[in-house]
Chain A
Amino acid sequence: MKARLPPMIAIAAIAAAPLLLSDYYIILMNYIGLASLVALGLVLLTGVAGLTSFGQAAFVGLGAYATAVVTTRYGWSPWLGLAVGMTLTATAALFLGFITLRLSDQYLPLGTIAWGISIYFAFGNLVFLGEHSGIPGIPPLSLFGWTIDTGWRLYLVIWLVVLLALLAARNLLDSRIGRAIRTLNGHARMAESFGVDTGRLKIIVFVYSALLASLAGWLYAHFLRYVSPSPFGINAGIDYLFMAVIGGSGHIWGAVAGASILTLMREWLKDILPHLLGRNGNYEIIVFGLLVVLLLHRTSSGLMPFLVRMLPGGRLLRPVAAAPLPQRPRLARGETLLAIDRVSKSFGAIGAVRELSFELKAGGIVGLIGPNGAGKSTVFNLATGLLPVTAGSIMFRGQRIERLGSREIAELGIARTFQHPNLLADRSALENAAIGAHLRGEAGLIAASLRLERAEEARLRDEAARQLERVGLGANLHDAAGSLPLGSQRILEIARALCADPLLLLLDEPAAGLRHLEKQALAALLRDLRDDGVSILLVEHDMNFLMGLADRVLVMEFGRLIADGPPHAVQSDPAVLEAYLGVAA
């Protein structure tokens, strides 16, 4: 229940503005509204998903030119122009996203620079598009016979669209798909191992942001009634990025704040500087640049976090209880769950895992121990598809999985934790845990934007809360994951894995950094899970911890299995003593 007051005040101010402002400022506000739409796309793309685009202005241009051509050359309806613009934009964005995002995140900026420069060149040089003089005579929009041809009518339309886009973006970020989008910023491997198709999602977010830009372009064309290449160049693309960053690129209202500040600053500098300096010159750009640098020195995460800090925070409650999500049928005790057969993995010349074979039966707790560098974490990475095997086969419930990606393996029912906690540090424990349940929901981006998935979302959040309570983090549901002690972060990782409803749980050193009593609580939790039908394989260093807990212990050294059996037998095994304590027994 976040404080709803500040957005309400902002909305009221926007509604009241036409009554108070002069025509000049109404037009300025229209420009701000259009820029806000584009910047909002960048907030999602850059601020949330961590991808940078310099090409948003080109998408604005595509939307504007599409409707200009459709309405002036063919005399068709502006609505058809919108459809054409959106289709062209989606196609271009899909293509660009497909070729750049498959490589690595830093290729999107390059691809969008290329795109931005090329499309600007096309606008300016194609006779069909009026070359540098552009296309005049674009008709105004009309809605139900109401022609939108004056500044304040446009104002209403533009800002209505902006508010709806803000609402949709807010809904989107507060949803299953929104959580997945947040993982794109540096947590792709983790997200994949919970079934998020990060490659596809990146492209979707990029297309979404491009469509917002294209929509702004459509409005722009019918607002100015004239298009020419100059507002769609690479400089404009950089300007939109400025707006998103200065506004505070993690906040949806940052788009409006950034668009307002930048547009007003530019206008005022143009008016004021010649008076101040007593002469005309190109000083605006110098002062503008200096102001941006100073602003970011004061608040490097943009204006919004600064503004938000001054506002009262709301009280946060546990999500309401909802119908539990369906669970996978548990396996009969003793069924073969995982069969690793002569698996090898080399990194260059180093064999990290050599001809390793073992089987896991359902319903047990198995410890995997061994000196550092024995290859334990590599086994986890092979079994979860994070690394490809060099040779050998891995079967999960009779199905070969060694060639599958992490996503498919997650779908089969294997969930894991990471040796170094891999959490979204500034999001709540609840949101982090809910990422684990990604595959147990199905609502997509459109359903989330329109809030059609609330029933499913309630069940996901309730599940996340329940798992957090189960692992003992019930009091920390709304704490930022990064503010929790390292031990609790590891426990949070377990809750996230449990949200995936796994049949097999792989835990990488869950007890490292826990004190004695916390370890006991963890052991109790793991026993409870085993009784519940979850099989557990854990890498651990603390022998004491395993001895009282595991049914069976596997010992690895130099990539091979050197012992396998009940804890006490393994402990007195001469090979193990030698490896661990350096004493030949």
Chain B
Amino acid sequence: MNLDIALWLSQDAITNGAVYALLAIALVLVYTVTRIIFVPQGEFISFAALSLASLQAGQVPGTVYLLIAGGILVVAADSVGLPRAVALQRLPGRLIRQMALPLAAGGIAWWSASRPDDLWLQIVATLAIVTPLGPMVYRLAFQPIAHASVLVLLIVAVAVHYVLTGMGLVFFGGEGLRSNPYSSLSFNVGVLNVTAQSLLIVFASVTLMAALWFVFERTLYGKALNATAINRTGAQLIGVSPSFSGQLSFALAAFIAAISGLLIAPTTTVYYDTGFLISLKGFVGATVGGMASYPLAVVGSLLVGFLEAGSSFWWSAFKDSLVFTLIVPVLLWRSLATPHSEGDERQ
């Protein structure tokens, strides 16, 4: 391998690593706030990429119907257990609150499908469809068992992943889709051919990370989420309910996943199950930092990017499996570098 190739691979590694880092941040966020390993993240990526491609093909994506059905289910779930009179009395208000966003997103999607050349509208429509699915999934699948063990939450997360993958297949079929490039510009820096596409990815990732940092360090909402991650009972006592922080963190995570989906949509053919593998790499990055540290999650994700770029050079056919195999030496190194382990105490 010569320097040119190394540079070219590094560009690839950083571009991919930036996306993995975003996903890893979302995983750490959801895990620390809700103790849920956000397995369905991959479907949100696929949904975003495929919804964008559908809109560009002039079609209203099936995810719109999922969003509307989800809104109705949320209203139904909120009404269960209430006395009938109370439920009926609150129904109109709830319908307006819960259905406004899905119906608006549906409207934007219809409008956008009729304007296949309006890229900004497509992006807005995609974000409007995918982001509200996050809190919906939390409300329906996780909120009723918010106190269950990490393991049970994980199993439910995998089950939700199955459901959404199945739906992805129903909505978009088994054929992959690729959206139009945002820009076909590229320019040479020294020996390196840099595409505007990869610059955009890195720029968008860094901007989003900075925005997230600002939210967590400087806004009371971000601090409230952080507080939930630190002490759940304490958060309840200041008026932050687990459902509030759960839905908020899922909304953020779905938004991040949707952005990631939009970023990769023009770079590769996306299938209904593509997102899962990408998300799994974000997960590997996040676990390098113990699912607890944002900076380490970013470092871990860049590491995954480089491992992947390296293995795609040497064994391109097996690059996906090899990324995971190469984690073993990383673990071994961490294990030997760490003098002793501290058992997790749950007291």
A301 CA to B147 CA in the complex, in Å? Answer: 11
Q: Given A52-B151, A110-B327, A118-B324, decide whether A293 and B160 contact each other with a Cβ distance below 8 A.
A: yes
Q: Given A188-B343, A245-B151, A249-B151, decide whether A104 and B290 contact each other with a Cβ distance below 8 A.
A: yes
Q: Does A102 sit within 8 A of B, measured CB to CB?
A: yes
Q: Does A220 sit within 8 A of B, measured CB to CB?
A: no
Q: Given A46-B151, A121-B325, decide whether A102 and B338 contact each other with a Cβ distance below 8 A.
A: yes
Q: Does A296 sit within 8 A of B, measured CB to CB?
A: yes
Q: Does A77 sit within 8 A of B, measured CB to CB?
A: no
Q: Does A8 sit within 8 A of B, measured CB to CB?
A: no
Output the least CB separation between A283 and chain B (Å): 7
Output the least CB separation between B251 and chain A (Å): 20
* CB within 8 Å of B: which A110-145 residues: 110-111, 113-115, 117-118, 120-121, 125
* CB within 8 Å of A: which B292-347 residues: 318, 321-322, 324-325, 327-328, 331-332, 334-335, 338, 340-347
Q: Is the CB of B148 within 8 A of A118?
A: no
Q: Given A113-B324, A198-B343, A293-B163, decide whether A103 and B145 contact each other with a Cβ distance below 8 A.
A: no
A420 CA to B347 CA in the complex, in Å? Answer: 7
Q: What residue in chain A is nearest B152 (Cβ atoms)? A: A300
B125-133, B164-172, B190-198: which one contacts chain A?
Answer: B164-172
Q: Does A107 sit within 8 A of B, measured CB to CB?
A: yes
Q: Is the CB of B162 within 8 A of A102?
A: no
Among A111, A245, A418, the residue within 8 A (CB) of B331 is A111
Q: Is the CB of A186 within 8 A of B345?
A: yes
Output the least CB separation between A495 and chain B (Å): 19
Q: Is the CB of B163 within 8 A of A285?
A: yes
Q: What residue in chain A is nearest B292 (Cβ atoms)? A: A106
Which chain A residues lie closer than 8 Å to B148 at the CB level?
296, 300-301
Q: Given A102-B341, A105-B344, decide whether A117 and B325 contact each other with a Cβ distance below 8 A.
A: yes
A93-101, A470-478, A550-558: which one contacts chain B?
Answer: A93-101
Q: Given A105-B344, A125-B318, A198-B343, decide whether A288 and B338 contact each other with a Cβ distance below 8 A.
A: no
Q: Does B181 sit within 8 A of A, measured CB to CB?
A: no
Q: Given A104-B344, A238-B158, decide whether A99 and B152 contact each other with a Cβ distance below 8 A.
A: no
A98 CA to B331 CA in the complex, in Å? Answer: 10
Output the least CB separation between A386 and chain B (Å): 10
Could you mark each residue 127-160 of chain B with 1 if its beta carbon is under 8 Å from any beta carbon of chain A, else 0?
A: 0000000000000010011001101101110111
Which chain B residues lie closer than 8 Å to A121 at the CB level?
318, 321-322, 325
With most chain A CB atoms within 10 A of its CB, the pick from B159, B161, B327, B334 is B159
Which chain A residues lie closer than 8 Å to B342 at the CB level?
104
Q: Is the CB of A289 within 8 A of B160?
A: yes
Q: Does B52 sit within 8 A of A, measured CB to CB?
A: no
Q: Is the CB of B152 within 8 A of A296?
A: yes
Q: Does B264 sit within 8 A of A, measured CB to CB?
A: no
Output the least CB separation between B226 and chain A (Å): 20
A282 CA to B169 CA in the complex, in Å? Answer: 7
Q: Does B284 sit within 8 A of A, measured CB to CB?
A: yes
Q: Is the CB of A289 within 8 A of B151?
A: no
Q: Is the CB of B328 within 8 A of A296?
A: no
Q: Is the CB of B152 within 8 A of A301?
A: yes
Q: What residue in chain B is nearest A110 (Cβ atoms)? A: B287
Q: Given A102-B335, A121-B318, A282-B170, decide whether A290 and B163 contact each other with a Cβ distance below 8 A.
A: yes
Among B154, B167, B331, B345, the residue within 8 A (CB) of A100 is B331
Which chain A residues lie closer than 8 Å to B343 at the CB level?
105, 184, 187-189, 191-192, 198
Q: Is the CB of B155 within 8 A of A246?
A: yes
Which chain B residues lie closer than 8 Å to A288 at the CB level?
159, 162
Q: Does A583 sit within 8 A of B, measured CB to CB?
A: no
With most chain A CB atoms within 10 A of its CB, the pick from B148, B328, B343 is B343
A284 CA to B167 CA in the complex, in Å? Answer: 11
Q: Does A487 sit within 8 A of B, measured CB to CB?
A: no
* CB within 8 Å of A: which B262-280 residues: 280
Q: Is the CB of B325 within 8 A of A118?
A: yes
Q: Is the CB of B347 within 8 A of A292?
A: no
Among A52, A114, A301, the residue within 8 A (CB) of B325 is A114
Output the least CB separation between A192 and chain B (Å): 7
Q: Is the CB of A241 within 8 A of B324?
A: no
Q: Is the CB of A187 within 8 A of B345?
A: yes
Q: What residue in chain B is nearest A105 (Cβ atoms)? A: B344
Among B151, B159, B338, the residue within 8 A (CB) of A292 is B159
A120 CA to B322 CA in the complex, in Å? Answer: 11
Q: What residue in chain A is nearest B140 (Cβ atoms)? A: A293
Q: Does A281 sit within 8 A of B, measured CB to CB?
A: yes
Among B144, B166, B335, the residue within 8 A (CB) of A103 is B335
Which chain A residues lie closer than 8 Å to B340 at the CB level?
102
Q: Does B291 sit within 8 A of A, measured CB to CB?
A: yes
Q: Is the CB of B344 within 8 A of A188?
A: yes
Q: What residue in chain B is nearest A418 (Cβ atoms)? A: B347
Q: Is the CB of A286 within 8 A of B284?
A: no
A292 CA to B163 CA in the complex, in Å? Answer: 10
Which chain A residues lie closer than 8 Å to B170 at the CB level?
281-283, 286
Which chain B residues lie closer than 8 Å to A114 at the CB level?
284, 324-325, 327-328, 331
A420 CA to B346 CA in the complex, in Å? Answer: 11
Q: What residue in chain B is nearest A124 (Cβ atoms)? A: B321
Q: Is the CB of A118 within 8 A of B151?
A: no
Which chain B residues lie closer than 8 Å to A191 at the CB level?
343
Which chain A residues lie closer than 8 Å to B290 at the CB level?
104, 106-107
Which chain A residues lie closer than 8 Å to B151 at the CB level?
46, 52, 241, 245, 249
Q: Is the CB of B145 within 8 A of A296?
A: yes
Which chain B residues lie closer than 8 Å to A52 at the CB level?
151, 154
Which chain B residues lie closer than 8 Å to A301 at the CB level?
148-149, 152
Output the least CB separation between B96 and chain A (Å): 27
Q: Is the CB of A283 within 8 A of B166?
A: yes
A296 CA to B280 CA in the complex, in Å? Answer: 24
Which chain B residues lie closer than 8 Å to A106 at the CB level?
287, 290-291
Which chain A residues lie closer than 8 Å to B160 at the CB level?
289, 293
Output the least CB separation between A174 and chain B (Å): 23
Q: Does A297 sit within 8 A of B, measured CB to CB?
A: yes
Which chain B residues lie closer than 8 Å to A230 at the CB level?
none
A198 CA to B156 CA in the complex, in Å? Answer: 29
Q: What residue in chain A is nearest B338 (Cβ atoms)? A: A103
Among A101, A118, A281, A297, the residue within 8 A (CB) of B341 is A101
Q: Is the CB of B328 within 8 A of A115?
A: yes
Which chain A residues lie closer than 8 Å to B154 at the CB level?
52, 241
Output the least CB separation between B313 and chain A (Å): 18
* CB within 8 Å of B: which A179-199 residues: 184, 186-189, 191-192, 198-199
Output the least CB separation between B166 and chain A (Å): 4
* CB within 8 Å of B: which A282-341 residues: 282-286, 288-290, 292-293, 296-297, 300-301
Q: Is the CB of B325 within 8 A of A103?
A: no
A327 CA to B135 CA in the complex, in Å? Answer: 60
Which chain B residues lie closer than 8 Å to A46 at the CB level?
151
Output the least CB separation between A434 and chain B (Å): 20
Further contacts, 13 of them, CB under 8 A, given A121-B322, A189-B343, A283-B166:
A100-B335, A103-B335, A107-B287, A109-B287, A113-B280, A121-B325, A184-B343, A186-B346, A187-B343, A238-B158, A241-B151, A245-B152, A418-B347
7 A-B pairs with the lowest CB-CB distances in the bound complex, closest first = A188-B343, A289-B162, A286-B166, A289-B163, A186-B346, A121-B321, A292-B159
Question: Please, could you name 24 A-B residue pairs with CB atoms under 8 Å apart, sorted by A?
Answer: A52-B151, A100-B331, A102-B338, A103-B335, A107-B290, A111-B331, A113-B280, A117-B325, A118-B328, A186-B344, A187-B345, A189-B345, A241-B154, A246-B155, A282-B170, A285-B162, A285-B165, A286-B162, A286-B170, A289-B163, A290-B159, A296-B145, A296-B152, A296-B155
Q: List residues of chain A with CB under 8 Å of any chain B CB.
A: 46, 52, 98-107, 109-111, 113-115, 117-118, 120-121, 125, 184, 186-189, 191-192, 198-199, 238, 241-242, 245-246, 249, 281-286, 288-290, 292-293, 296-297, 300-301, 418, 420, 422
Q: List residues of chain B with CB under 8 Å of any chain A CB.
A: 141, 144-145, 148-149, 151-152, 154-156, 158-163, 165-167, 169-170, 280, 284, 287, 290-291, 318, 321-322, 324-325, 327-328, 331-332, 334-335, 338, 340-347
